[in-house]
Amino acid sequence: MLGKPVAVAMLVSLLVPSACSAQMAPDRQTIDGVAAGTIREAKASAWGFDPEDSTDQLQAAIDSGVPRLIVDQMASPWIVRPLTLISNQEIVFEEGVEVVAKRGEFRRRNDILFSAGNCENLSLIGYGATWRMWREDYADPELYERGDWRHCLFLGACRNVRVHGLTLIGSGGDGIYLGSDGAGNPNRDVHVRDVTCAGHYRQGISVINAENLLIENTVLRDTGGTAPMAGIDFEPNRPGERLVNCVMRNCRFINNAGNGILLALRNMGASSPEISLTFENCASTGDHGSVRVDLSGSVDETPNGAIDFVDCVFRDSIGPAISVTKPAVRARTRFVDCSVIDPAADDPSASPIVLLSRQDATAPAGGIEFVDCVISDAVKRAPISYVNAGGVGLEDITGVLIIGRGGRRETAPLTPEILAEWMPVSAWRDIPRMTLDGLNLRPLAPDAPARSCGFAHGRARYTGHWILHAEEGDEVSLTAHFGQVGNYRAVDLPITVAGPSGQQVCVVRAPFMEDAEVAFTAPAAGLYRINAAPGANLLCIVESSHPLNLNGESGPIRLTTSPGDFYFWVPAGTREFAVRVSGEGDGEGVRATLISPDGVIVDQVDNSAWTHQFEVELPEGAPGQAWLLRLARPTTMPMDDHHVDLRGVPPLFAPTVEALLIPAR
């Protein structure tokens, strides 16, 4: 065409529309042949092409059901709004093809580029092809409502799926999300191969529910925007979801703002299907952490199964390369022939490998084997350290490490003696949490004025539990505030009230970022429990007609930015009790002061990111008294998430002395 006159060139461009960015009309002959079943392979452009918006054309091509659909390369990208995939179809994206999210669209927080729900026998093949979204747009609150779910590809309870060769860039959520359907069914037999996920806002890949998942030769890089910001995150939402026979092989994790590999399994439990996760010949380079295994500290809330890392290399992590949080008796974890190279080079206080116990720990941490793993570290420090947030011991840490430093190598069998040298365990006094069962709780001051009963500074996050006492026929009224944390959004929040016999008294839906009135007539004398689950946001009881306490009988109370006074009752005859306080462990701290009934400071801690336990011994015959835990902003750390936990005394906090509920004599 270089030698043709301009007029001829224009004529040719009109006759060959696939070579230009002009709009193309549908090819009725091809469309009719596909509908009749005589054509089993077709190009997407047969349904037309619009350089401004080809959503309708590409969706029509998919919906045609043609067994093999070729998304052909045009002179400009396929610009689209959200698209839905179907079963029994192979879609091949030609080399050089770009499918681009239309700017200004994807307004709903869960608008996804390509979605497949309950599909089977689906193949998405795209060597040299790119799917592109606009992460910077979705992160701008002036342009878009905050949302972490504008993924490139969603697979929900799909079966027999192949995703090969594609490059997925810049979503407002995850490159690929493997979720459930409404019934909790998993994805089965999914094969991801030769895929690149780059520059996504939340995760390169999220795996929520999967069985027989194989991810090979895949690159997950440059994730950053909103937590967890991992290369890949295995994170079921419910105990019934599964991670069974999930394998990653020959994959690379590069410069992710979070962990390269994150196993966030705290939503699973002992009743969950046994997990089986294997990582073979994978490499993490420049991630904040290479691997984080994060399970509950409670045996009853931890799945069983196996986690294996084999022939993996963890290089140049910003923080510790490997961190593991789990009870020793569950989910045995093995690192076999793995290498840790130059971790946490700018933080000599951080060990290459960190083991942790959680605030809710009910059993020793551990259950980890290191088989001939090499740690090449220029910094002289303990290869493994233990952050004991739960005050429990360590068990079943076995194997051999090979320590390389200054050109020399030293073999270190993980004997009890060397582990004690590297990780001296200072287990706290194990004072059990008291149950409220059988306690006849009454208000310390039955006539306490309403101004003493509101608990506005007790801002509960994720779950909130309160308790109050009312007499039969009392008119009880509460004002609850469902507030926002960060940019997290929410819908109306159910607040339930259960009476003394456990019966539901009322349910109120609290509007997001507004106050809600909770009112009922007490049908019987006794304790009334107020429960809600504000998720990533917060709930507080601003006003109460009756003395109201935060209830920690089910575990540590999780708060967010809650400086103020928290009173608790130590019953007569108590010989010892403990108060545990902690920040979130990842740079979020708390300042706490324990004050005796006569106003004396018994103990205090500042900038506490991990758990600190105040321990108190009392003389025989000590009277019942009100003690005070005063929380404040730490001096050098931000205050966000923090926990409080009472041991050996009723696990109840009140905003004032007058509002305390105490055991009747």
pLDDT tens digits along 562-609: 999 999 999 999 999 999 998 876 668 899 999 999 999 999 999 888
Residue type, 150: R
3-state secondary structure 519-538: EEECCCCEEEEEEEEEEEEE
pLDDT at 2: 34
Q: Could you count the other beta carbons within 10 Å of the beta carbon of residue 578? A: 20
- Which secondary-structure segment (H or E) carries 422? helix 416-422
What pTM value is reported for the model?
0.81
Percentage of the chain with pLDDT > 70? 96
pLDDT at 13: 33
Give the 3-state secondary structure of residue 12. Answer: helix
pLDDT digits 0-9 by tens, 182-206: 899 999 999 999 999 999 999 999 9
pLDDT at 623: 95
Residue 363's nearest CA partner among 383, 399, 388 is 388
Place of tokens 């002009």: 22
pLDDT digits 0-9 by tens, 419-461: 999 998 866 787 888 999 888 999 999 999 999 999 999 999 9
pLDDT digits 0-9 by tens, 102-157: 999 999 999 999 999 999 999 999 999 999 999 999 999 999 988 889 999 999 99
Question: Which range is least confidently modeled, 3-12, 197-206, 655-664?
Answer: 3-12
Residue pair 47/72 in contact (Cβ under 8 Å)? The answer is: no
CA dist 148 and 599 (Å) reads 47
Question: Which range is least confidently modeled, 27-31, 320-324, 433-437, 505-509?
Answer: 433-437
CA dist 306 and 368 (Å) reads 10
Q: Please say whether the structural domain 441-663 has been given the CATH code 2.60.120.380.
A: yes
Q: Read off the pLDDT band of 15 (50, 70, 90).
A: very low
DSSP class of 49: B
Alpha-carbon distances, residue 615 vs 428, 550, 575, 581, 620 (angstroms): 9, 21, 11, 12, 16
Length of the chain: 665
pLDDT at 359: 76
Residue pair 470/531 in contact (Cβ under 8 Å)? The answer is: no
Place of tokens 């993490």: 284
Residue 8, pLDDT > 80, answer no
Q: Could you count the other beta carbons within 10 Å of the beta carbon of residue 513? A: 12
Residue type, 141: P
Residue 616's nearest CA partner among 631, 595, 644, 632 is 595
Residue 11, pLDDT > 90, answer no
CA dist 175 and 196 (Å) reads 9
Q: Which residues of 149-159 are buried (b: 16+ CB within 10 A; e: fewer)?
A: bbbbbbbbbbb
Q: Read off the pLDDT band of 21 (50, 70, 90).
A: low
Domain ranges, ordered by start, for the chain: 116-422, 441-663
Burial of 297 (0-12, 13-18, 19+ CB in 10 A): buried
DSSP string computed for 328-368: TTSSEEEEES-EEES-STT-TTS-SEEEEE-TT--S-EEEE
Query: Which residues lie closer than 8 Å to 511 by C-beta, 6 or more apart?
Result: 482, 492
Alpha-carbon distances, residue 658 vs 232, 434, 447, 573, 661 (angstroms): 50, 22, 9, 21, 9
Mean pLDDT estimate for the chain = 93
Residue 421 has φ and ψ, to the nearest 5°, of: -70, -45
Q: Please say whether the structural domain 116-422 has been given the CATH code 2.160.20.10.
A: yes
Percentage of the chain with pLDDT > 90? 83
Alpha-carbon distances, residue 400 vs 334, 384, 476, 493, 639 (angstroms): 12, 12, 62, 51, 39
Q: Degrees (nearest 5) of the Cα angle 118, 119, 122?
A: 155
Question: Which range is least confidently modeled, 217-226, 291-300, 408-417?
Answer: 291-300
pLDDT at 254: 98
Instruction: Give mean pLDDT, residues 290-300.
Output: 91
